[in-house]
């Protein structure tokens, strides 16, 4: 496993090659070639060469760059694709079921998401853009309505909601449906947090310092949110079982309090109160994975002010060791984990906003990593994700660039190095990106939440690493985070978006032919300024729920889903005064097989853990 880092200050993408024993080689650094820094990135195998490529989005640029990796850890010159305005987040997945990875970018400035369909050879179609909420900040992909088609979920920072775009399985999506979450949502994630086999949504809200959990009904609709308090100004969220109890837990990075919140899940959609762990300065993104091969989930956090990543190894009972830190680029904003060099060891990829690049840190497999290697991407990359977008069994990287309004796709060589980026235009200011097969062609597609254009962009993948031009769907105001899943149990993936300006989330249901139906707007109330959204089954009813980070109201909102694309009003979990949750993750963090919630709080600089009891309580 290697690590890729995007550096905001130095405008470089660095690569750290891992030896599988927790050690990393000296970085390979790639210049971006212009003044705007990278903001977010994602990886995946976009050209089907069994190597991971990197996609990077930039701060203030309306495009994404794709870097294709070589066997020696270096990359080809970037390929650039236009996206929306100010891309903020990026995700990778096969949204049109062609077995080729596609790219989805959340565009903060144009309020939409860009979807770039991959050809499977490292190239992509021009973007298709879909409107989402206001100021989308984060995007993710999953099947929220159980139709086997990937859907898009976006967190909208301006409208304080999440947008859900259900996928038709052909790369097109229904019009968004929105659900209210907390204040200024920053990040969204999906997972089954209540063990009902239905995907739920988890969103971190920066201004309300909490996370919102929306339980899914399995039909693309969700319950109203339930909110849980996390640290100050949470910016990022991840979901996973960190305590080996088969229940998903939530992990949140808190920007202001410089810590992460871990919320252990009860397996019923509810979570324990948070437990917080110190990390670096101004954490902006969090990811979960087993980086030392002990079968226990670990936490990786990108720290924007200290220009490094923190690694917290897990004990398997929901608690973690003290952090170990590795230098990356300037102002890292987004982090992702995956095996980019095919050595069965997890690597780290980071999007660096100020240095306009991504850093790749290859893992040794024992919790240690090589020094970073960096790859140039677009302007101000904000969100990064990893996936095989060109069907070569190699992981590629996709990055959302907020300033250049595009997503960068970097095809991987399978040895930890990547080709130069290819960029695809999305909406304005994409803040979150997710990957999934939203049109049921077995090829991964890209969904981006566009913060400024209040929509989501969908880029259908050709399965060869290239994507179609974006199709955009309107969502709420300032969408900040997006996630994908089947929320109405029709085996088709839908899209959920957290809108940060208001207090709602947007849900876009997918039709059979891959088109998007009308938007459903969920306004459960109680939260404000949504910053992040995730989906999972938090109460073990097999219906997906939504979890929101409510930045403005300092809590986490949980909306339990009915399995028919409708949701209960949110249950709010306080993260404390001035905590401002900005990111969340869900997973089983204490080994009780119940889903927990972890919250990153921007205001208090803590990461809080809320342990779930499997019945929707935390």
pLDDT digits (tens, 9 = 90+) for 468-511: 888 888 888 888 888 888 878 888 888 888 887 766 778 887 76
How does pLDDT run across 286-299, given as a tens digit for each residue? 889 999 999 999 99
Check whether 192 has a pLDDT greater than 90.
yes
Would you state the pLDDT for residue 22? 57
For residue 262 the two structure tokens come to 């871990």
The confidence score (pLDDT) of residue 65 equals 73
φ/ψ bin of 409: left (φ > 0), alpha (ψ from -120 to 50), beta (otherwise): beta
- Spell out the CATH class of 2-610: mainly beta
pLDDT at 522: 55
The 10s digit of each residue's pLDDT in 209-219 is 999 999 999 88
Which residues does 408 contact at the CB level (< 8 Å), separation at least 6?
A: 38, 41, 54, 55, 56, 57, 58, 63, 64, 65, 66, 67, 78, 80, 81, 90, 377, 378, 381, 397, 398, 399, 401, 421, 422, 423
User: CB under 8 Å to 79, separation ≥6 — which residues?
Assistant: 65, 66, 68, 122, 123, 409, 419, 420, 421, 422, 423
Question: Helix (H, G, I), strand (E, B), or coil: what is residue 302?
Answer: strand
Give the pLDDT confidence score for residue 590 in this predicted structure. 80
Whether 103 and 460 have beta carbons less than 8 Å apart is answered as no
pLDDT, average across residues 238-249: 92
Mean pLDDT of the chain: 84
> At 16, is the pLDDT very low, low, confident or very high (cuts 50, 70, 90)?
low
Average pLDDT over residues 97-104: 85
How far is residue 121's CA from residue 409's CA, in Å, rounded to a whole number? 11
State residue 52's pLDDT score: 67
Q: What would the pLDDT profile of 68-85 be if each residue is shown by its tens digit?
A: 655 554 555 557 788 888
Dist. CA 508–CA 131, nearest whole Å = 10
Model confidence pLDDT, tens digit, residues 132-184: 999 988 889 899 999 999 999 999 999 999 999 899 999 888 888 899 999 99
For residues 191-198, give the mean pLDDT: 92
The pLDDT of residue 518: 44
Paired with 608 in beta bridges are 261, 599
Write out the DSSP string of 460-494: EB-EES-BPPBEEEE-EEEEEEEEEEEEEEEES-E
pLDDT per position as a tens digit, 557-583: 888 888 877 788 888 888 888 888 888
The band of 323, judged by pLDDT with boundaries at 50, 70 and 90, is: very high
Higher pLDDT, 72 or 542: 542
User: What is the pLDDT, as a whole number, of residue 336?
Assistant: 87
Q: Considering only residues 2 and 366, tell me which one the structure prediction assigns the higher pLDDT.
A: 366
| pLDDT of amino acid 202 | 94
Mean pLDDT of 400-426: 87
45 alpha carbon, distance to own chain's centre: 17
User: Quick one: pLDDT at residue 493?
Assistant: 84
Please give the residue that has the higher pLDDT: either 339 or 121.
Answer: 339
Higher pLDDT pick, 170 / 527:
170
The SS3 of residue 60 is coil
Averaged pLDDT for residues 544-562: 87
With CA atoms as reference, report the closest residue to 473 among 199, 29, 133, 15.
Answer: 133
pLDDT tier at 441 (50, 70, 90 boundaries)?
A: confident
- Closest listed residue to residue 577, CA positions, set 187, 183, 157, 208: 208
pLDDT of residue 524: 47
Give CA 255 to chain center in angstroms. Answer: 16
Looking at the chain, the whole-number percentage of residues with pLDDT higher than 90 is 29
């Amino acid at each position: 496993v290697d690590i890729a880092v995007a550096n905001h200050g130095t405008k470089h993408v660095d690569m750290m090659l891992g030896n599988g024993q927790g050690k990393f080689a000296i970085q390979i650094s790639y210049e971006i070639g212009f003044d705007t820094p990278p903001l977010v990135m994602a990886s995946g195998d976009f050209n089907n060469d069994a190597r991971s490529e990197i996609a990077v989005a930039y701060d203030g640029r309306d495009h994404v760059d794709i870097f294709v990796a070589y066997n020696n850890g270096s990359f080809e010159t970037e390929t650039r694709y236009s996206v929306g305005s100010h891309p903020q987040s990026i995700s990778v997945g096969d949204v049109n079921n062609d077995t080729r990875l596609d790219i989805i970018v959340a565009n903060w400035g144009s309020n939409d998401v860009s979807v770039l369909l991959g050809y499977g050879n490292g190239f992509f179609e021009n973007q298709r853009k879909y409107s989402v909420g206001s100021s989308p900040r984060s995007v993710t992909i999953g099947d929220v309505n159980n139709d086997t088609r990937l859907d898009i979920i976006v967190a909208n920072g301006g409208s304080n909601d999440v947008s859900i775009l259900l996928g038709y399985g052909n790369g097109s999506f229904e019009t968004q449906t929105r659900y209210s979450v907390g204040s200024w949502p920053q990040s969204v994630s999906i997972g089954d947090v209540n063990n009902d086999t239905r995907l739920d949504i988890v969103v971190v809200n920066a201004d309300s310092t909490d996370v919102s959990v929306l339980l899914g009904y399995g039909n693309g609709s969700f319950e109203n949110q339930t909110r849980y308090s996390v640290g100050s100004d949470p910016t990022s969220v991840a979901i996973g079982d960190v305590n080996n109890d088969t229940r998903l837990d939530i992990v949140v990075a808190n920007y202001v309090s410089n810590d992460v919140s871990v919320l252990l899940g009860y397996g019923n959609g509810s979570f324990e109160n948070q437990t917080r762990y110190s990390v670096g300065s101004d954490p902006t993104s969090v990811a979960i994975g087993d980086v030392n091969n002990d079968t226990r989930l670990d936490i990786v956090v990108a720290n924007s002010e200290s220009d490094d990543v923190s690694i917290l190894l897990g004990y398997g009972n929901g608690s973690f060791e003290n952090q170990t830190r590795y230098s990356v680029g300037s102002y890292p904003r987004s982090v992702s984990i995956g095996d980019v060099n095919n050595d069965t060891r997890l690597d780290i990829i980071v999007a660096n906003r100020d240095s306009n690049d991504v850093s790749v840190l290859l893992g040794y497999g024992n919790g240690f990593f090589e020094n970073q290697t960096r790859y140039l991407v677009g302007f101000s990359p904000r969100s990064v994700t990893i996936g095989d977008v060109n069907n070569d069994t190699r992981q590629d990287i996709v990055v959302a660039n907020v300033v250049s309004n595009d997503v960068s796709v970097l095809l991987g060589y399978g040895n930890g190095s990547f080709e130069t980026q290819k960029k695809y235009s999305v909406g304005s200011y994409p803040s979150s990106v997710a990957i999934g097969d939203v049109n049921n062609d077995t090829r991964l597609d890209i969904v981006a939440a566009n913060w400024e254009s209040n929509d989501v962009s969908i880029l259908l993948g050709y399965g060869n690493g290239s994507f179609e031009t974006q199709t955009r769907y309107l969502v709420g105001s300032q969408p900040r985070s997006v996630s994908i899943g089947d929320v109405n149990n029709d085996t088709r993936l839908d899209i959920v978006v957290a809108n940060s300006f208001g207090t709602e989330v947007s849900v876009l249901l997918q039709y059979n032919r891959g088109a998007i139906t009308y938007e459903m707007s969920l306004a459960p109330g109680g939260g404000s300024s949504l910053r992040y959204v995730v989906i999972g089954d938090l109460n073990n009813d097999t219906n997906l729920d939504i979890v929101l980070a409510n930045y403005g109201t300092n809590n986490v909102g949980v909306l339990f889903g009915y399995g028919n694309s409708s949701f209960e009003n949110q249950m709010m979990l306080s993260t404390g005064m001035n905590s401002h949750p900005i990111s969340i993750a869900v997973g089983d963090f204490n080994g009780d097989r119940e889903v927990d919630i972890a919250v990153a709080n921007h205001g208090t600089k803590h990461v809080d853990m809320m342990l779930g009891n499997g019945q929707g309580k935390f």
